[in-house]
Chains A and B, each alone.
Chain A
Amino acid sequence: MLYREAGDFSTSYTADSQTFPIRFDRYRYYFILVVAFLVIPFFVNDYWANAILVPFLIYSIAAIGLNILTGYCGQVSLGTGGFMAVGAYSFYKLMTAFPEISIMLHVLLSGCITAAVVTLFGLPSLRIKGFYLAVATLAAQFFLVWMFNKVPWFYNYSMTGMIGSPERTVLGIVVTGPNTDAWAKYFVCLIFVTLCGIIARNLTRGSVGRKWMAIRDMDIAAEIIGVNPLKAKLSAFAVSGFFIGIAGALYFGVFLGAVEVTEAFGIEKSFMVLFMIIIGGLGSIFGSFAGAAFMVLLPVLLKNVFVGGLGWPTDLAAHLYFVIAGGLIIMFLILEPHGLAQLWRLAKEKLRLWPFPH
């Protein structure tokens, strides 16, 4: 008995609509939380935190954000990089302007500011659909990056044009700046991932999520049964922006510490997060995590195998990464358009019947 749901009946609608209706899933979820919060922080070292865990957590937040907009509400966005930049620069301005206020609050505020900006760029979605919208979001991408490059106020008139996060503490523990411990970085990101995950799950299982999906699947029918397309689309843009803003703030403030906008938040970033949700699974919170893990691990793996293992030059490994990432995207779209999340679901369905498949 690896996994089962027999004898596990929902006896109320409350029980049926919870996040993990099956007991086994619920226990596994608690187990993962306990390990993530109480075990990993004591063992994590610099390499694991900086190369894998912290980027994984941050990209998960960004992927959830984009998945809400693209996977749930059907509005393809290629502006994720630019929107993350909004989060990063808001965070920078807030933490330098109000050093006495906790940065945890600043991160949330950066999310809110990004939500507002993304909503603004979401306004054309009421008139423009499909590809036209996808291309229109590129306007946001290019304009925002250009703006953060050209307006000195955003980078506090620094000579280099870069922004760097000063040292700030939470409850006496250093969480930003060069002297941050690996476990502190990890822990801060973990808190926000947990928060975002719960919010995203609550929104997508209720009526807000249904409105988004209705708009995605058939916008005209959705409007006729009573979904206000303006509100539904803009709320998706706002929630998505909130998450992406948080991700941007953490990516700059906690993960990198100092960024140059074109390098950190260019169009490559937009595509990378888009790839995460395609590989992970459009319209799935679990898929956002799976996709983020995959895209973070892939280059690390390639580097270890080809550069570390076979001694190839790094540029060759980088080219190979493009080939593999691109190839995988195509493969997933052809074989499993619902991504890793669907593979997981199928595996569970098999296990459910195991060892008696008939």
Chain B
Amino acid sequence: MNNVSQDHFVTADGRSIGGALMEMQNITLRFGGVVALEDISFDILEGEVRAIIGPNGAGKSSMLNVISGFYVPQEGQVLYRGSLRPAMKPFQVATQGIARTFQNIALFEGMSVLDNVMTGRITKIKSGIFSQMIWKGRAEREEIENREVVEKIIDFLEIQAIRKTPVSRLPYGLKKRVELARALAAEPSLLLLDEPMAGMNVEEKEDMSRFILDVNSEFGTTIALIEHDMSVVMDLSDRVVVMDYGKKIGDGTPDEIRNNQEVIDAYLGVSHD
């Protein structure tokens, strides 16, 4: 089914997509007796936008949690940049350049927007606690450097005006955007987005789609996203994985997915009839 070649190629809009950044091989995840993921394999290519779709409870979020190291699958392996990823804690996965957003916004409600986005830089901090106690020198320099990076992202996502606002006061749509900013602040190689447009109106969805495409084309960030809105998925993504009841039932370009009979039966057919 997967007929995109592993070699580098250039898409119609001029982005270059290359070898596999991440390969999931025969992943099986169980919670007690419940099988959340069953023998799932797929890959994410460097520079592409990869969508994971499927009905509620199909195991999409579990899949993302496996990628970010939050769940450890009972079987199967994860290859990152061509080599086997050993068992890791989530924070170690983050230092490898994988950042994500969450389905139910997981911002730090007690902090300002700026501080929230600055937490995205945590994996880049080198100065220790003693140096930070004194503040002068390395700690201060590092803070300023990180601040510069963060300010660029704040500009990019057009949230300058709310920089110092406590996150808890923001409306839903802006919170989603701040969460994206926090993930981008880590300058990730792989960005995981768990339903970035859930609960948004059409206008907000358009804004968010634009940001996602810009991130992909300007920074060359590889993106894997879960989304329910089919038209958005078909427009944004280079390739799509379809899941149902913890199994993979389809994998390919949006056009292929549209014409895949199994997918239509299991998922699209129901909602588009």
Is A225's CB under 8 angstroms from B143's CB? no
Query: Is B6 interfacial (CB 8 A cutoff)?
Result: no
Q: Please determine whether A214 and B119 come into contact, CB atoms closer than 8 angstroms.
A: yes
Interface residue? A202 (CB, 8 A):
yes
Docked complex: B122-160 residues within 8 A CB-CB of A: 122-123, 125, 127, 129, 132-135, 139-140, 142-144, 146-148, 151
Known A-B contacts A13-B144, A221-B106, A226-B91; A207 and B118 likewise in contact (beta carbons under 8 Å) = yes
Contacts of A214 in B (CB 8 A): 108, 111, 119, 122
Interface size on A, residues (CB 8 A): 31
Expressed in whole angstroms, the Cα–Cα distance for A211 and B120 within the complex equals: 10
Check B135 against A210 for contact (C-beta < 8 Å). Answer: no
Q: Provide the residues of chain B in CB contact with A239, threshold 8 Å.
A: 129
If A213-B110, A220-B106, A226-B186 touch, does A203 touch B122 (CB 8 Å cutoff)? no
Q: In the complex, A228→B90 CA distance in Å? A: 9
Q: Mark A175-202, 1 if CB is under 8 A from B, else 0.
A: 0000000000000000000000001001
A224 touches B118 (CB 8 A): no
The reply to whether B110 and A13 contact each other, CB–CB distance below 8 Å, is: no
Least CB distance, A224 to chain B, in whole angstroms: 5
Categorize the interface residue count of chain B. Answer: 35 or more
Least CB separation from A282: chain B residue: B110
Residues from chain A with Cβ under 8 Å of B119 in the complex:
210-211, 214, 222, 225, 227
Pick the contact of A225: B120, B140, B146 (CB < 8 A): B120
Given contact pairs A217-B108, A217-B109, A225 touches B144 in the complex (Cβ within 8 A): no
CA distance A227 to B93 in the complex (A): 11
Nearest B-chain residue to A226, judged by Cβ: B94
Q: Is A223 an interface residue (CB 8 A)?
A: yes
Are A224 and B125 within 8 A (Cβ)? no
| Dominant secondary structure of chain A at its interface with chain B | helix
Q: Is A216 on the interface with B (CB-CB < 8 A)?
A: yes
User: Once the chains bind, are A225 and B186 in contact (CB under 8 Å)?
Assistant: yes
Chain A hits for B110, CB < 8 A = 213, 216-217, 283
Tell me whether A207 and B147 are in contact (CB under 8 A): no
Give the residues from 173 to 190 in chain B that come closer than 8 angstroms, CB to CB, to chain A: 182-183, 186
A208 within 8 A of B: yes
Knowing A13-B147, A202-B134, A217-B111 touch, does A210 contact B106 (C-beta < 8 A)? no
A207 contacts B68, CB within 8 Å? no
Q: Would you call B60 an interface residue if the criterion is a C-beta within 8 Å of the partner chain's C-beta atoms? A: no
| Cβ–Cβ < 8 Å partners of B109 in chain A | 217-218
Inter-chain contact B111/A221, CB cutoff 8 Å: no
Contacts of A210 in B (CB 8 A): 111, 115, 118-119, 122
Q: Let me know if A223 and B143 touch, CB within 8 A.
A: no
Q: Are A208 and B132 in contact (CB under 8 A)?
A: yes
Which residue on chain A has the smallest CB distance to residue B109? A217
Partner of B133, one of A14, A16, A199: A199
Among A238-295, those with CB < 8 Å from B are 239, 283
**Is B239 engaged at the interface, CB distance under 8 Å to the other chain?**
no
Supposing A224-B90, A228-B91 touch, asked if A202 and B133 sit within 8 A by C-beta, the answer is yes
0/1 string, B231-249, CB within 8 A of A gives 1: 0000000000000000000
Please report the C-alpha to C-alpha distance between residue A339 and residue B163 in the assembled complex, in whole angstroms.
Answer: 24
Cα A208 to Cα B140 with chains together (Å): 12
Give 1 or 0 for each of B85-98: 1 = CB within 8 Å of chain A CB. 00001110111000
The answer, yes or no, to whether A172 is at the interface (CB within 8 Å) is: no
- 5 closest A-B pairs by CB: A226-B94, A221-B106, A217-B108, A226-B123, A202-B135
12 contacts between A and B (CB under 8 A): A13-B147, A17-B147, A199-B133, A207-B132, A213-B111, A214-B111, A214-B119, A218-B109, A221-B102, A226-B95, A235-B129, A283-B110
List residues of A whose CB falls within 8 A of some B CB.
12-14, 16-17, 199, 202-203, 206-208, 210-211, 213-214, 216-218, 220-229, 235, 239, 283
Which B residues form the contact surface with A (CB < 8 A)? 68-70, 89-91, 93-95, 99-100, 102, 106-111, 115, 118-123, 125, 127, 129, 132-135, 139-140, 142-144, 146-148, 151, 182-183, 186
